[in-house]
Chains A and B, each alone.
Chain A
Amino acid sequence: MCKKRIKCAGCLANCRGDHKSETCNAYSTSCSHNGHLKITVNRLSGLVVFLLGFAIFWQGRSLSIGTLHAPGPGFFPALIAGVLVLLALILMIGGGKKEGEEDAVPFSAVLRMLLLFASLVAYFLLLEYLGFVIVSFLLMFFLFFWVGRQRWYLAFSSAFVCIGLAYLLFEVLLKSNLPRGVFGF
């Protein structure tokens, strides 16, 4: 039995190959489940693009396509949507053969990315209420402390210095009008 218990990307069953090497690759080659339509990265992304093409058609249905003599505002979007649908079809049909050899992303990395993304969205949501200085300071402290893995006082002081310099450069020197929050700074 495969020690790494890798699931087949095609039918999501556990790989039953006899893999002794560390690089068990149930992903594309070892598993041969006949009769199943393999779900590959290419097929999946092709499907997304395919649907996107139709979404463009649908969302643009109110725009007039016009005639070839006088193309309207909907002409070019419809043309692109058509091309996208066509390309996506080619990708889906030919996509079963080759497989992207990307390794699966480890769970801890996914978690870190989700946290990072959440913190950035929070930044966007809070920016105009709390103001640039506070929100940016919190973000930088969070990032230095959590990913930079610095001690809290180091993270605190580097965040302080960064925001101070950024404020000097953008607000004082370049007069960029960074958002002020309810506290007036």
Chain B
Amino acid sequence: MELLHNLYLGFSVTLLPVNLLFCFIGVLLGTLVGVLPGLGPAATIALLLPITFSLRPEAAIIMIAGIYYGAQYGGSTTSILVNIPGEASSVVTCLDGYKMARQGRAGPALGISAFGSFIGGTLSVVGLMLLGPLLARFALRFGPPEYFALMFLGIVILTFLSKGSMLKCFISAGLGLFIGTIGIDTIYGVQRFTYGTLTLMDGVGLVPVAMGLFGVTEVFVNLEQTEVRDIFKSKIKGLLPTRKDWAESFGPIMRGSVMGFFLGILPGGGAIMASFASYATEKRISRHPETFGNGAIAGVAGPETANNAATGGAMIPLLSLGIPSNVIMALLIGAMMIHGIKPNAFLVSEHPQVFWGVITSMYVGNVILLVLNLPLIPVWVRLLKIPYGILFPLILLFCLIGVYTVNNNAYEILIMLIFGVIGYVMRKTGFEPAPLLFAMVIGPIMETALRQSLLASRGNFSVFLYRPISAVLLGAAGLILLSSLIPRVGKQRETIIQETPDD
């Protein structure tokens, strides 16, 4: 009964016209940026943060969540049609999706990925609804050592899954942790690395760094390439998968939903890991593994379902612990803080309209996506043909306005430009920017948790090992670190991650 009551509350928030409108805008924009390579969901959410200031918190978060799962939809479209994954989590879709398109089956490939995404997305929202409040209650047992351990695990998983050498990803995360310390120390109130400037007093802003690393850097990288994209030319027809397609896809979709949801919960992992795991599983248990890589529909249905199911799972640590599980969730935390909502274990009881409103909006958003995207696919294909010379000034203008309007402070533009250059140099030298941003956001939480743990334990580090939850989390992190040192695992990690594009 309680659940029904909560659902009623949620839908009464979601179905308000204004929230419906922002849900619609969110998923539409999400699909759009998912389709356009060169503008990912991270940069888009950063761009739109200033716009959300004047909204009610529910509307703002509903829209941002919509961008996130909408982008997972859009990313598959470019994978299938152009063989360029719009998002990192759609990389595996290229393998079989593009092959299907070459065989004249672009329609069913797009169709099944839309249906799979819908089913995975919806099932994961059901899971989020059932498990979220339970985990929030469990999270009450989390003290500072557990928080620290969980965030450490998050950084380890993220670096393990990032492209390039793990060592470099750790360095990138270390830089992020340092940038997170700039500003006023939370415990003693001392200024750190601010050099007396007002701009740095509140710390280096999330928005300028995110836009610099993901927006401006992307423009720089794209400017040096002059290649013309080879766009799939033949007409797309028959979006609806046949009965045989459905029969082959049903199992992968169901398994992908479950796998994606649970992998999504893990901090640092999320959609990328889910899609790879689903593809590997389907290939292993398939009766015709040789068809994988040659246009097997199961190889499209499974991963596309899994990466959408992961979005539901990813909301759990955020809504119950206040810990982001990936860069986009980190931005979502930024949005919640702006609205004075502290994401933590009390979110469900203190702001039920936000918690349940966002969850139910994800049902509605998934329906909108399905209805919207099947007819809109031709439009997205046409959008891919916009020359970059027209697109990039618009991206830059949006970045400039967006950064300025956060605090009406022109110096934040300078910070964005500096991080644009840093991001470019990092990309050229093989350092991934995503761990930097992620670590920068969780850095202050991590530092406070570490210092509180040490204060409570009187400087004894064994506190992290005596408490069961933190011991398990740290043990898992240690295992991942050790396993990456084994040459075979390291090799496999490299071959899998290699083709991952940047957000």
Task: List residues of chain A with CB under 8 Å of any chain B CB.
Answer: 41-42, 44-45, 49, 52, 56, 59-60, 63, 67-77, 80-81, 83-84, 87-88, 90-91, 94, 100, 102, 105-106, 109-110, 112-113, 116-117, 120-121, 123-124, 127-128, 132, 136, 139-140, 143-144, 147-150, 158, 162, 166, 170, 174-179
CB-nearest residue of chain A to B414: A124
- A80-B177, A87-B174 known; A69 vs B400 contact (CB < 8 Å): no
Indicate if the CB atoms of A149 and B428 lie closer than 8 Å. no
- What is the minimal beta-carbon distance from B203 to any residue of chain A, in angstroms? 13
Quick check: A143 and B396 within 8 Å, CB to CB? yes
B149 nearest CB across to chain A (Å): 16
Query: Which of A81, A148, A174 contacts B54, CB < 8 Å?
Result: A174
Looking at the complex, which one of B54, B223, B396, B447 makes contact with A120 (CB distance below 8 Å)?
B396
Can you list the 3 inter-chain pairs with the closest CB atoms, starting with the nearest?
A68-B459, A148-B389, A143-B393
Contact A176 B405 (CB under 8 A): yes
B364 at the binding interface (Cβ < 8 Å) = no
Say whether B413 faces chain A, with CB atoms less than 8 Å apart: yes
Q: State how many residues of chain B have any CB contact under 8 Å with chain A.
A: 55
A136 in contact with B397 (CB, 8 Å): yes
Q: Are B396 and A87 in contact (CB under 8 A)?
A: no
| Least CB separation from A127: chain B residue | B410
Contact among B174, B392, B405, B410 with A170 in the assembled complex (CB-CB below 8 Å): B405
Other than the given A121-B417, A147-B223, 8 more pairs (CB < 8 A) read A71-B454, A73-B190, A84-B171, A105-B428, A148-B387, A148-B389, A158-B390, A179-B408
Interface segment among B56-64, B181-189, B318-326, B365-373: the answer is: B181-189
B413 touches A80 (CB 8 A): no
With A84-B174, A100-B429, A117-B417 in contact, is A69–B454 under 8 Å at CB? yes
Is B238 on the interface with A (CB-CB < 8 A)?
no
Dominant secondary structure at the A interface: helix
Asked if B235 is an interface residue, CB under 8 A from chain A, the answer is no
**B171, B390, B417 interface centre (most CB from chain A within 10 Å):** B171
Interface string of B172-207 (1 = CB under 8 A from A): 001101100100010110101100000000000000
Which residue of A69, A72, A117 contacts B459 across the interface (Cβ within 8 Å)?
A69
Kindly state whether residue B251 has any CB partner on chain A within 8 Å.
no
B473 to chain A, nearest CB (A): 19
State whether A147 and B185 are in contact (beta carbons under 8 Å apart), knowing that A56-B178, A87-B170 are contacts in the complex. Answer: no
**Which residues in chain B, 421-459, are within 8 Å of chain A measured between CB atoms?**
421, 424, 428-431, 447, 450-451, 454-455, 458-459
Shortest CB distance A98–B (Å): 8
User: Nearest Cβ distance between residue A126 and chain B, in whole angstroms?
Assistant: 10
- A136 and B398 CA atoms in complex are apart in Å by 11
- Decide if B383 is an interface residue (CB 8 Å cutoff): no
Partner of B178, one of A77, A113, A176, A177: A77
CA A104 to CA B90, docked complex, whole Å: 29
The answer, among A69, A73, A124, A149, for a CB contact under 8 Å with B458, is A69
Q: Are B224 and A102 in contact (CB under 8 A)?
A: no
Closest to A167 in B: B401
Given A68-B459, A106-B224, are A77 and B192 also a contact pair (CB < 8 Å)?
A: yes
| Interface residue B168 (Cβ < 8 Å from any Cβ of A) | yes
Point out the residues of chain A lying under 8 angstroms from B424, CB to CB.
Answer: 113
* Chain B residues positioned under 8 Å from A72 (CB to CB): 188
Closest approach, in angstroms, between the C-beta of A97 and any C-beta of chain B? Answer: 11
Please measure, in the bound complex, the distance between the C-alpha atom of A120 and the C-alpha atom of B417, giving whole angstroms.
Answer: 8
Do most interface residues of chain B lie in helix, strand or loop, or is the interface mixed?
helix
Kindly identify which residue among A77, A100, A102, A136 contacts B400, using a CB–CB cutoff of 8 Å: A136
B209 to chain A: closest CB distance in Å?
16
The answer to whether B224 touches A123 (Cβ under 8 A) is no
- The smallest C-beta distance from B182 to any residue of chain A, in angstroms, reads 9
- Whether A75 touches B451, Cβ cut-off 8 Å, given contacts A49-B171, A63-B190, A116-B223, is yes
The listed residue (B51, B393, B410) touching A147 by CB distance below 8 A is B393
Most buried by B among A42, A56, A80, A128: A80
Q: What separation, in Å, do the CA atoms of A173 and B182 have in the docked complex?
A: 34
A-B contact pairs, 14 of them (CB 8 A): A41-B429, A52-B175, A63-B190, A68-B460, A71-B451, A71-B455, A77-B181, A80-B178, A84-B175, A94-B167, A110-B224, A116-B223, A143-B396, A178-B404
What is the bound-complex CA distance between A88 and B420, given in angstroms?
A: 23
Shortest Cβ gap from B176 to chain A (Å): 10
* B459 contact set on A, CB distance < 8 A: 67-70
How near does chain B come to A129, taking the closest CB pair, in angstroms? 10
Q: Which residues of B contact A71 (CB under 8 A)?
A: 450-451, 454-455
B167-A170 in contact (CB<8A): no
CA distance A106 to B400 in the complex (A): 27
Q: How far is the CA of A41 from the CA of B458 in the complex (A)?
A: 43
Are the CB atoms of A128 and B410 closer together than 8 Å?
A: yes
Decide if B455 touches A69 in the complex (CB within 8 Å): yes
Given contacts A176-B50, A177-B408, whether A91 and B454 have CB atoms under 8 Å apart is no
Give the distance in Å from the alpha carbon of A80 to the alpha carbon of B447 in the complex: 10
Interchain CB contact under 8 A, B167 and A87 = yes
- Beta-carbon nearest neighbor of A155 in chain B: B393
What is the chain A residue whose CB lies nearest that of B428?
A: A102
Q: Given A68-B454, A113-B224, A116-B220: A147 and B174 within 8 A (CB)? A: no
* Bound complex: CA A72 to CA B303 (Å): 47
Given the contacts A45-B429, A63-B192, A73 and B401 also touching, CB distance less than 8 Å: no
Residue B18, interface by CB 8 Å: no
Q: Bound complex: CA of A26 vs CA of B167, how far in Å?
A: 26
